[in-house]
Chains A and B, each alone.
Chain A
Amino acid sequence: MDGKLTINVKAAGTRVALNLDDKVRGTMDWSAAQQISRELRALAAAAVGMVFYKFTVDGRPVYVDFEPGLALALANALYRCSLQAEEQAKAERIALDTAILYRAGAPLGLSNDPAILDEAKKEAAWNSELRRAMPGGVKSAEAFGVPAVRRGPPPGTTQH
């Protein structure tokens, strides 16, 4: 395959869609995308000439050769999209972690996804189980008066 290879990578929900000139076309989960990204980077870094990589499409191997620069670009694109897909796959966990920060008074979002942040706000406001994850729990706001303890005189003595 020459340098005119058209690469199209994008995150699609919790998966990553890849299209290499319709020769390799399909989706993979985010962890597979990260694995391919790592392998392509390693191959690109070690390559003297072209980088050969075996994709598995519908159970059959498809061999693609890249220029090292293109392999690195594909690796980076796969990694970037895999992070977006991973964020969606772990949206519930991220929302809960963000909710813990909100509940602790730290308005820091762990995602840029408005839907995840909205869910985090709801969890922070309503999740009664969240206190279990708070360091030291949620402090109670009870208030105490300060009583006085007065010791009287011992028996047999007269108080003046």
Chain B
Amino acid sequence: MANALRDTGREGFLDGTIDWDTNTIKHFLYDEGADAFIAGDDNLDDILAGARIATSGAYASKTVTAGVADAADVVHTAVSGATVESIEIYKDSGVESTSRLIANIDTATGLPVTPNGGDITVVFDAGANRIFKL
């Protein structure tokens, strides 16, 4: 795999279901060993809770300029659990079955990472593409 938008992410941006800078956007650290990545997964409830090693708070400082999605870096505190292979970004609707999966990032410096009980920080790229560019 490679970093990629989910089909539901693309659809959401096109049909207006996902509004990056006003919706609640989060990610979780994804243990793909517990629940393998499936491209057809569309909502949060498709990923086993046990495969979600840690979930971020709502993204802050989000921007959409020029179709480039960005947000402030995220710190997960005191993370323990199985090895994390990827980061799954989703829109949190408050209900798992309607929380659309947006993108999966499995290519990142430091991935896979095995939690050791300490903090895990996700530092988004400061380059032109930031988190992703549509």
* Contact B108 A142, beta carbon cutoff 8 Å: no
* Contact B118 A154, beta carbon cutoff 8 Å: yes
8 contacts between A and B (CB under 8 A): A144-B133, A146-B107, A146-B109, A147-B125, A148-B125, A149-B121, A151-B113, A157-B118
- CB closest chain-A residue, reference B112: A149
Main secondary structure of the interface of A (DSSP, over half): loop
The answer for the CA separation of A59 and B130 in the assembled complex, in Å, is 75
Interface flag for B51 (CB, 8 Å): no
Q: Mark B64-107, 1 if CB is under 8 A from A, else 0.
A: 00000000000000100000100100000000000000010101
Interface flag for B41 (CB, 8 Å): no
> Given known contacts A140-B10, A142-B134, is B105 in contact with A147 (CB within 8 Å)?
yes
Give min CB distance, A128 to chain B, whole Å. Answer: 12
Chain A interfacial positions (CB closer than 8 Å to B): 140, 142-155, 157
* Contact A145 B113, beta carbon cutoff 8 Å: no
A146's partner among B10, B108, B118, B120 (CB-CB below 8 A) is B108
Interface flag for B117 (CB, 8 Å): yes
Give min CB distance, B98 to chain A, whole Å. Answer: 23
* Contact A144 B3, beta carbon cutoff 8 Å: yes
Counting residue pairs across A and B whose Cβ atoms lie within 8 Å, the total is 90
- CB closest chain-B residue, reference A149: B110
> Given known contacts A152-B120, A155-B118, is B113 in contact with A146 (CB within 8 Å)?
no
* Contact B78 A143, beta carbon cutoff 8 Å: no
The answer for the CA separation of A152 and B110 in the assembled complex, in Å, is 11
Give min CB distance, B77 to chain A, whole Å. Answer: 9
- CB closest chain-A residue, reference B124: A147
The answer for the CA separation of A147 and B121 in the assembled complex, in Å, is 10
Interface flag for B116 (CB, 8 Å): yes
Q: Kindly name the residue among A147, A149, A152, A155 whose own CB sees the greatest number of chain B CB atoms within 10 A.
A: A147
Question: What 7 additional pairs, Cβ within 8 angstroms, besides A142-B5, A147-B125?
Answer: A140-B4, A143-B133, A145-B127, A147-B122, A151-B114, A151-B116, A155-B118
- CB closest chain-A residue, reference B119: A152
* Contact B123 A148, beta carbon cutoff 8 Å: yes
The answer for the CA separation of A143 and B105 in the assembled complex, in Å, is 11
